[in-house]
């Protein structure tokens, strides 16, 4: 086998192949023998389309449901989710541009005359009598934050009637009707909490004419997070709570709330987007669910009476990333991926065990011999650190990550050399990485660059204590964990200490900039729409995250000194290594000014850098050309820094300094 320099390995996996074949699949739903899903298409500038495929029958073909001119998307919380709902054979969706609610097959749309241009709706549910469509509404208000509330749209023959059902709370989500139409469950929370900090479950009496009384509190509050309320077929209100320290399943029976399957594992997720689903009912006695353990998802059947949890993992190549659980008439659907198969929309016959793939996110056909599989690693991340605010109570914490070694069946690296390492810092920061096949990771490993994807302190999937350990410590412990991941792999002989890079997007981009500014381990980095100035973020970000930093850093402006101490933009004199910045021009979550302030600081000091601004992109890149430019641009940048040859020289990447 030929020896080739790490980073220069020839790979069949080009950025064009990844961008062209990389669909964004989400929100699977079932209705009357069909599985539906939302499909984002990079080739069409990220346009989202509702698709469907028959559950049974040979050679079922996926077909497009929504009109060719429509982009199914909402802007609630900026991150959206819950963009459509199929129920009783009727398809409702929120469309862009214009942000209006439409029903497929009907010419009329609903966008009230008094709604501002940027008003948006998400997270729909249809009442059992089909008289009401409820949704979460985000309505701008002059001179203050938008108003978030639950509204109900009357669907009678007369002109649509709009009722404000729940208002007066900062945030609401998960409006769900009981099977008999007698009540509406929902969750609510207020600043400064995020839904994973403190969230409440409420129930509102309902009748054919709308709300029928005062809402009553069911569960939740300070120190407790509620997720995904849903009624059983018999009307038992079920939900996920982290009351025990883990997101576990609970059900209200005879006026009392009881746990269904107490476990030290997670049945819930951070509520970044609407309409997530980690469980659904098979019947009154059992449900299908997904739980996360040690960073890996498992599909299971739960007996509600005994609490027995039966795993349904496949014998070979089991799914390790699963979401969007829905069940109807003995058939389930979900979005799932494994370490060797990219995300796909699947249906599962719960009686026969027949599994069917309806749509794959990637059509690249990447050969399995090229695939680098994730290796779980754990290591100790010590304190104190050289960061501006060292953590004193987090010494000796155990941190989790997944390592992907370089893999190429045609070449090998030079004898006696360790490969370069790319440390990945996920967004959130309240979130987690996935071990489902991600061709963007394989893009690096197939070229001879190792990747370590870090579930740093504060990540989800490891219980509330691990999640809460980031409170007051963002920009400190997450950074230390990424630094220690690289040190651990260098000590193991699996990474070259002189060719260490770090990359991340959004909150992960902030971790990148802190690691490069306050530590001297890495030799290069890439910030994708990352944060350089915490004060600017606290002042300028959107409503959903406007008080997020109160928990992660401290109250602002009272703790202004801490915000400045943890903002890389104020310590540009400490930054000595090259950085490349990728930014969406229309990003409302992390505006371009964040990247531009850091770029200007680097330019003033003559440090090599590059800045790539993508017109029309928001928070995260959806267009094929943007995805390609970001991948190839980052590789090209590292090649210039580390001195290896690559066959790409992307347009728009100008290295200055």
Residue 521: which CATH number?
3.40.50.1820
| β-strand partners of 579 | 525, 609
CA-wise closest residue to 45 among 642, 638, 615: 615
Average confidence score pLDDT of the chain: 92
Burial call 589-616: b when 16+ CB within 10 Å, e when fewer:
bbbbebbebbbebbeeeebbbbbbebee
Q: Encode 468-491 in three state secondary structure.
A: HCCCCCCCCHHHHHHHHHHHHHHH
Confidence at residue 497, expressed as pLDDT on a 0 to 100 scale: 97
> Does 392 have pLDDT greater than 70?
no
Q: Tell me, what DSSP letter sits at residue 178?
A: -
pLDDT-based confidence at residue 160 (cuts at 50, 70, 90): low
Percent of residues, the chain, with pLDDT higher than 70: 94
- Please tell me which residue, 58 or 556, carries the higher pLDDT value: 556
For the chain, the domain total comes to 2
User: Tens of pLDDT along 353-380?
Assistant: 999 999 999 876 778 899 999 999 999 9
Confidence at residue 115, expressed as pLDDT on a 0 to 100 scale: 62
Kindly state whether residues 513 and 623 are assigned to the same domain: yes
User: Tens of pLDDT along 199-232?
Assistant: 999 999 999 999 999 999 999 999 999 999 999 9
Q: Tell me, what DSSP letter sits at residue 656?
A: B
Contact 372, 440 (CB under 8 A): no
CA-to-CA separations, 302 to 178, 259, 315, 332, 409, in angstroms, rounded: 21, 12, 19, 14, 42
Confidence at residue 112, expressed as pLDDT on a 0 to 100 scale: 59
Burial group, residue 24, by CB count within 10 angstroms (0-12, 13-18, 19+): middle
pLDDT-based confidence at residue 111 (cuts at 50, 70, 90): low
Percent of residues, the chain, with pLDDT higher than 90: 77
Kindly state whether residues 145 and 256 are assigned to the same domain: yes
Task: Answer with the one of 243, 276, 309 that is the final residue of a domain.
Answer: 276
CB count, 10 Å around CB of 544? 21
Kindly state whether residues 440 and 572 are assigned to the same domain: yes
> Does 314 have pLDDT greater than 70?
no
338-342, 495-499, 560-564: least confidently modelled range: 338-342
CA-wise closest residue to 489 among 451, 441, 546: 451
User: Tens of pLDDT along 262-292?
Assistant: 999 999 999 999 999 999 999 999 999 999 9
Kindly state whether residues 272 and 383 are assigned to the same domain: no
Kindly state whether residues 414 and 539 are assigned to the same domain: yes
Kindly state whether residues 548 and 402 are assigned to the same domain: yes
Kindly state whether residues 383 and 498 are assigned to the same domain: yes
User: Tens of pLDDT along 521-554?
Assistant: 999 999 999 998 999 889 888 899 999 999 999 9
Alpha carbon distance, N-terminus to C-terminus of the chain? 39
> Does 93 have pLDDT greater than 70?
yes
Containing domain of residue 457, as a range? 377-642
Kindly state whether residues 599 and 470 are assigned to the same domain: yes
> Does 113 have pLDDT greater than 60?
no
Whether 334 is in a domain gets the answer: no
Whether 213 is in a domain gets the answer: yes
User: Tens of pLDDT along 641-656?
Assistant: 999 999 888 878 889 9
| H helix count then E strand count, the chain | 10, 40
pLDDT-based confidence at residue 114 (cuts at 50, 70, 90): low
Kindly state whether residues 394 and 264 are assigned to the same domain: no
Long-range contacts of 646-649 (CB under 8 A, 24+ apart): 646/7, 646/8, 646/447, 648/15
Q: Residue 397 is encoded by which pair of tokens?
A: 């914490």
Kindly state whether residues 135 and 270 are assigned to the same domain: yes
Contact 203, 218 (CB under 8 A): yes
| β-strand partners of 38 | 26, 50
| Dihedral sign computed on CA atoms, order 52, 57, 60, 63 | negative
Kindly state whether residues 555 and 443 are assigned to the same domain: yes
Q: Across residues 577-596, what is the average pLDDT?
A: 90
Angle between helices 507-518 and 477-491 (to 10 degrees): 70
Task: Answer with the one of 242, 276, 310 that is the final residue of a domain.
Answer: 276
Whether 30 is in a domain gets the answer: no
Give residues with Cβ within 8 angstroms of 227, minimum separation 6: 187, 195, 199, 239, 240, 241, 247, 268, 269, 271, 276, 278
Whether 610 is in a domain gets the answer: yes
Give residues with Cβ within 8 angstroms of 387, minimum separation 6: 475, 476, 479, 480, 514, 518, 519, 566
Opening angle at CA 295, ends 246 and 516, nearest 5:
110
Whether 210 is in a domain gets the answer: yes
Q: Across residues 569-590, what is the average pLDDT?
A: 90
Residue 172: which CATH number?
2.120.10.30
Whether 281 is in a domain gets the answer: no
Give strand ranges (E) for 413-459: 421-425, 450-455
Q: Across residues 397-414, what is the average pLDDT?
A: 96
Confidence at residue 382, expressed as pLDDT on a 0 to 100 scale: 72
Q: Residue 146 is encoded by which pair of tokens?
A: 């938008």
What's this model's pTM, rounded to 2 decimal places? Answer: 0.92
Contact 522, 516 (CB under 8 A): yes
> Does 383 have pLDDT greater than 60?
no
Task: Answer with the one of 258, 276, 294 that is the final residue of a domain.
Answer: 276
Whether 599 is in a domain gets the answer: yes
> Does 68 have pLDDT greater than 50?
yes
Q: Residue 506 is encoded by which pair of tokens?
A: 């959004």
Confidence at residue 108, expressed as pLDDT on a 0 to 100 scale: 57
> Does 109 have pLDDT greater than 70?
no
Looking at the chain, how many residues does it have?
A: 657
Whether 397 is in a domain gets the answer: yes
> Does 394 have pLDDT greater than 60?
no
Confidence at residue 245, expressed as pLDDT on a 0 to 100 scale: 97
> Does 311 have pLDDT greater than 70?
yes
Kindly state whether residues 268 and 381 are assigned to the same domain: no
């Amino acid at each position: 086998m030929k020896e080739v320099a790490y980073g220069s390995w020839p790979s069949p996996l080009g950025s064009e192949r990844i961008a062209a074949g990389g669909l964004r699949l989400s929100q699977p739903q079932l209705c009357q023998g069909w599985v539906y899903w939302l499909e984002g298409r990079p080739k069409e500038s990220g346009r989202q389309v509702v698709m469907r495929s028959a559950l049974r029958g040979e050679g079922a073909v996926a077909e497009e449901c929504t009109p060719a001119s429509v982009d199914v998307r909402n802007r609630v919380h900026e991150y959206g989710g819950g963009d459509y709902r199929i129920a009783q054979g009727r398809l409702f969706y929120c469309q862009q541009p214009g942000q209006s609610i439409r029903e497929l097959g009907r010419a009329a749309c609903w966008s009230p005359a008094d709604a501002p241009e940027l008003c948006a709706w998400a997270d729909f549910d249809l009442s059992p009598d089909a008289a009401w469509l409820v949704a979460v509404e985000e309505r701008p208000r002059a001179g203050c934050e938008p108003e978030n509330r639950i509204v109900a749209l009357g669907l009678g023959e007369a002109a649509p009637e709009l009722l404000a059902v729940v208002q007066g709370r900062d945030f609401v989500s998960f409006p769900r009707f009981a099977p008999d139409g007698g009540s509406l469950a929902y969750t609510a929370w207020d600043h400064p909490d995020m839904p994973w900090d403190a969230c409440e479950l409420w129930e509102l009496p309902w009748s054919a004419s709308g709300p029928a009384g005062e809402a009553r509190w069911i569960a939740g509050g300070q120190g407790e997070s509620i997720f995904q309320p849903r009624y059983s077929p018999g009307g038992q209100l079920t939900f996920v709570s982290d009351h025990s320290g883990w997101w576990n399943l609970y059900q209200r029976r005879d006026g009392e709330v009881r746990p269904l399957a107490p476990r030290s594992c997670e049945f819930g997720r951070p509520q970044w987007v609407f309409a997530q689903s980690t469980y659904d009912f098979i019947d009154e006695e059992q449900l299908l669910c997904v739980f996360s353990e040690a960073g890996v998802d498992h599909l299971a059947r739960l007996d509600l009476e005994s609490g027995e949890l039966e795993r349904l993992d496949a014998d070979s190549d089991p799914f390790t990333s699963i979401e969007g659980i829905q069940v109807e008439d003995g058939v389930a659907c979900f979005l799932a991926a494994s370490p060797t198969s990219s995300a796909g929309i699947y249906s599962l016959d719960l009686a026969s065990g027949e599994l069917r793939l309806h749509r794959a996110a990637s059509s690249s056909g990447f050969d399995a011999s090229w695939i680098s599989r994730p290796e779980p690693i754990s290591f100790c991340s010590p304190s104190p650190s050289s960061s501006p605010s060292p953590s004193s109570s987090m010494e000796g914490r155990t941190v989790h990550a997944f390592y992907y070694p370089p893999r190429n069946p045609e070449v090998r690296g030079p004898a006696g050399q360790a490969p370069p390492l790319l440390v990945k810092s996920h967004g959130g920061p309240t979130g987690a990485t996935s071990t489902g096949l991600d061709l963007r990771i394989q893009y690096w490993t197939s070229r001879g660059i190792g990747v370590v994807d870090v579930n740093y302190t504060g990540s989800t999937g490891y219980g509330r204590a691990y999640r809460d350990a980031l409170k007051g410590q963002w920009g400190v412990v997450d950074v230390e964990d990424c630094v220690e991941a690289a040190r651990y792999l260098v000590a193991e002989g699996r990474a070259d200490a002189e060719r260490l890079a770090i990359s991340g997007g959004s909150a992960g981009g902030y971790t990148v900039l802190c690691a490069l500014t306050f530590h001297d381990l890495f030799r290069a980095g890439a910030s994708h729409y990352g944060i350089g100035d915490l004060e600017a973020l606290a002042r300028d970000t959107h409503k959903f995250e406007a008080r997020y930093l109160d928990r992660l850093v401290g109250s602002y402006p009272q703790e202004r000194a801490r915000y400045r101490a943890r903002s890389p933009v104020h310590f540009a004199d400490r930054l000595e290594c090259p950085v490349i910045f990728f930014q969406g021009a229309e990003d409302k979550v992390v505006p371009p000014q964040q990247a531009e302030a850091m770029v200007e600081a680097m330019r003033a000091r003559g440090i090599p850098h590059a800045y790539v601004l993508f017109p029309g992109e928001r928070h995260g890149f959806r267009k094929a050309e943007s995805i390609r430019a970001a991948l190839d641009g980052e590789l090209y940048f590292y090649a210039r820094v580390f001195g290896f040859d690559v066959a790409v020289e992307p347009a728009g990447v100008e290295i200055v300094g």
